[in-house]
Amino acid sequence: MNRGYDGNPIFAGNVTKSHFLDYLDFIDSAFDKFDRLQRPTELSIGSKRQDELYYEPMEKVIQEFQTRNDIDIYAIDTRSRKGQRLRGELLVNLKEGAGLSYKEIAGIEIFKNLKFSTLRSMYRNMKRKRSK
């Protein structure tokens, strides 16, 4: 049954079928699909991206970094070259190992004073240096 914008049925009477009525059928099916997409499903509630299933927790990645480099991440002096290199390595580890976004990484104390664009370029540069 074709319905108007107010939801009431449209009376077609003795009108011959036209393109307008085809559009009304389309509108009904479009509204049905729209309503279906608005309802939460069991899969959509609490679902994660597929690649998030294979990432390690952030705490584990940080702990492994601290153990490997024998340094606390809050004790890294980012004004020195060594400290900047360590911060860059930590960034790559967090991005690849824990799957964190730049926004999540920027929430960590050592990265708070950096802009997103700086994080992106730092990640790109460290990844390039790491592959050499």
**Per-chain mean pLDDT for the chain:** 78
Longest dimension (CA), the chain: 85
Q: How confident is the model at residue 30 (pLDDT cuts 50, 70, 90)?
A: confident
At residue 19, the pLDDT reads: 58
Q: What is the pTM of this model?
A: 0.59
